């Protein structure tokens, strides 16, 4: 687990893996010295320069950390780990007459373990290096002028000045100035964004041009940056099923191996063969095969503005067969506009109808309601305050406006309230908002939304990545939903759905044997996101609900990130399989075969043993740099 504080993270923009020298702690230098001394004594003994007791002492010094770790694991976790395995192999060799082989074996295995441990920490540290850091001081502006203060002294509401080239220290909104901000540490997008008055900005991002006065809204661990760091740090604890399986296999493999070795010894009575076999039956690489991949994949995704909360979700995403989308705000740009007002009552002209609907909708946060209110404001219509208001999930609103009961929403809302009207007013490319007053149908307001940029390409890429079926679930009317689905190439459309209906639809797909990913905004779709095998929230930057509701959060509203996340997941899962089959299985099977045939001895086996470690490491960390479309 990564336990460093936010302030100690490397600078943003450093996307290279940390240098190995920076990871060389005092304890690691002691380990290097221990391995060097043991190896030197073994060499001197082989040359007849030192006596056996000196060699035994050197072996004891070299084995100490392995014995300590192995015993602690045995006592506290009741498991026989690799350390115990290596210790037994070394002791068998030393006391079985293969003294030099035992010492060389221990040195080589210690080197392998050291390299593996160092590079695992290097992969973990790369997560921090990929994301960045926040400054520890800020320029606060007040009545007494400008003053540089530690971040800990800032309070919500304080005014902070950020100049060109400086990092923004807080989450907040621009109250003065304009500029260009590089938000790559948050969103993964390298193209800077222009910021003007009232624009939201995030801690850890960089002002590339202009100067901004920012009103502080969130500080420290409440900032979006801090939440991202916390999520990525916690992700390592959420093990993938294949990782749990590898741990279980390693746990029962060691006792099985010991029984196998005892059987071979009774047949051959050859200590040299037993020592050689012990090297190739060590489960060390099995425990490395998955964690390194998951750490590297999560780091790569974080660099791209994709937060994956654990290896379990990474593996599940790789196996997903169906991707389900919400419509409004996910497949569409969530900027609906009123395109037509149609009155069906002589008591209401178009403006009167729009005024009534806007009054009923003014307390609603739904995008369609906001579009109605915006249209009334654009026409200069004075919007009265409703005397009562009720939001009806998946239907619309019910409000009392100037003494009259108004229903504003879809056709189902009117039907459920016994309002009679003719044929359902539907238009394939537009969403109709039906309006009734005191139980009588009075008109329709048509609202149109645009397809989100890149949606067609993103869905096509998902198909290319093995997704069998694309589904849209929406509370909108069937005609509008069907028209949009046809334009996007979606297979299945289910309209007029309440939040509970979306959950039921996902459950039905799961009963059919599908692995289901649900893509939504992380707020209205929280139940469906939770029900799906993998919940993916769009636009998590600055949205606490989106970060908490989903298993994967996209820091931008770019649908292409979904395809990129899927590609990273599939590449990671394939890498794990390669590690287990080639890096562990093939090499070890060949080594065991060669040992049983007497082709190699302990020293040759110890040297060859480095091969799987190197293969597993190189194959795993390449996920940080290999070309993946969209990442």
What gap in Å lies between CA 146 and CA 289, rounded to an integer?
53
Of 303, 295, 330, 11, nearest in space to 186 by CA: 303
521 is catalytic: no
Are 602 and 104 a contacting pair, CB within 8 Å? yes
Contacts of 114 (CB under 8 A, 6+ apart): 28, 31, 32, 35
Are 454 and 562 a contacting pair, CB within 8 Å? no
Of 415, 424, 422, 423, nearest in space to 392 by CA: 415
| CA atoms lying within 13 Å on the CB side of residue 59 | 28
What gap in Å lies between CA 314 and CA 533, rounded to an integer?
11
Long-range CB contacts for residues 63-71, cutoff 8 Å, separation at least 24: 63/87, 63/90, 63/106, 64/34, 65/31, 65/34, 66/110, 66/113
Q: Say which of 16, 121, 247, 326 is annotated catalytic.
A: 326
Name the residue with tokens 């604890």.
Answer: 237
What gap in Å lies between CA 218 and CA 398, rounded to an integer?
35
Q: What's the gap between Cα 233 and its chain centre?
A: 10
First to last CA, the chain: 24
Residues marked as catalytic? 326
């Amino acid at each position: 687990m990564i336990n460093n504080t936010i302030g100690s993270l490397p600078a943003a923009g450093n996307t290279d893996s940390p240098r190995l020298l920076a990871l060389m702690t005092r304890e690691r230098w002691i380990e290097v010295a221990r391995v060097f001394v043991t190896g030197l004594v073994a060499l001197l003994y082989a040359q007849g320069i030192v006596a056996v007791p000196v060699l035994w002492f050197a072996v004891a010094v070299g084995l100490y950390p392995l014995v300590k770790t192995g015993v602690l694991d045995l006592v506290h976790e009741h498991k026989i780990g690799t350390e115990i395995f290596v210790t037994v192999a070394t002791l068998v060799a030393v006391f079985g007459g293969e003294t030099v082989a035992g010492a060389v074996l221990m040195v080589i295995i210690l080197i392998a373990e050291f390299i593996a441990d160092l590079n695992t920490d290097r992969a973990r540290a790369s997560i921090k290096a990929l994301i960045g850091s926040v400054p520890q001081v800020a320029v606060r502006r007040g009545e007494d002028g400008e003053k540089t203060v530690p971040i800990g002294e800032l309070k919500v509401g304080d005014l902070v000045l950020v100049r060109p080239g400086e990092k923004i220290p807080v989450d907040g909104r621009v109250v003065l100035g304009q500029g260009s901000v590089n938000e790559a540490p948050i969103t993964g997008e390298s193209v800077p964004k222009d910021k003007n008055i009232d624009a939201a900005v995030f801690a850890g991002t960089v002002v590339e041009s202009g100067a901004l006065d920012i009103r502080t809204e969130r500080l420290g661990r409440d900032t979006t940056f801090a939440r991202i760091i916390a999520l990525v740090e916690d992700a390592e604890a959420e093990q993938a099923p294949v990782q749990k399986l590898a741990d279980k296999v390693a746990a029962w493999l060691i006792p099985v191996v010991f029984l196998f070795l005892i059987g071979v010894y009774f047949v051959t009575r050859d200590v040299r063969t037993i020592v050689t076999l012990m090297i190739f039956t060590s489960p060390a690489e099995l425990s490395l095969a998955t964690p390194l991949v998951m750490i590297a994949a999560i780091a790569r995704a974080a660099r791209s503005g994709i937060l994956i909360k654990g290896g379990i979700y990474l593996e599940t995403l790789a196996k997903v067969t169906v991707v389900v989308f919400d419509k409004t705000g996910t497949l569409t740009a969530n900027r609906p506009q009123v395109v037509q007002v149609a009155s069906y009552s002589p008591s209401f002209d178009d403006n009167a109808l729009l005024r009534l609907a806007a009054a009923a909708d003014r307390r609603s946060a739904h995008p369609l309601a906001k579009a109605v209110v915006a249209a009334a404001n654009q026409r200069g219509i004075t919007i009265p305050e409703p005397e009562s208001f009720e939001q009806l999930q998946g239907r619309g609103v019910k409000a009392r406006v100037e003494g009259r009961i108004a229903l504003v929403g879809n056709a189902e809302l009117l039907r459920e309230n016994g309002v009679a009207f003719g044929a359902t007013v539907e238009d394939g490319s537009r969403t109709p908002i039906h309006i009734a007053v005191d139980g009588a149908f009075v008109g329709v307001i048509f609202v149109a939304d645009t397809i989100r940029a890149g949606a067609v390409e993103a869905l096509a890429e998902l198909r290319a990545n093995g997704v069998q079926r694309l589904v849209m679930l929406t509370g909108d009317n069937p005609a509008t939903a069907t028209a949009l689905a046809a334009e996007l190439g979606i297979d299945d459309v289910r309209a007029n759905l309440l939040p509970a209906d979306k959950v039921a639809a996902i459950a039905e797909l799961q009963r059919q044997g599908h692995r289901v990913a649900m893509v939504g905004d992380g707020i209205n779709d929280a139940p469906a996101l939770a029900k799906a095998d993998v919940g993916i929230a769009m636009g998590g930057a600055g949205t606490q609900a989106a970060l908490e509701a989903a298993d994967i959060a996209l820091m931008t509203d770019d649908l292409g990130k979904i395809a990129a996340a899927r590609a990273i997941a599939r590449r990671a899962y394939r890498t794990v399989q390669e590690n287990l089959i080639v890096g562990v299985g093939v090499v070890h099977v060949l080594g065991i075969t060669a040992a049983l045939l007497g082709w190699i001895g302990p020293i040759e086996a110890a040297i060859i043993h480095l091969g799987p470690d190197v293969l597993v490491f190189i194959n795993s960390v390449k996920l940080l740099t290999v070309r993946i479309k969209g990442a």
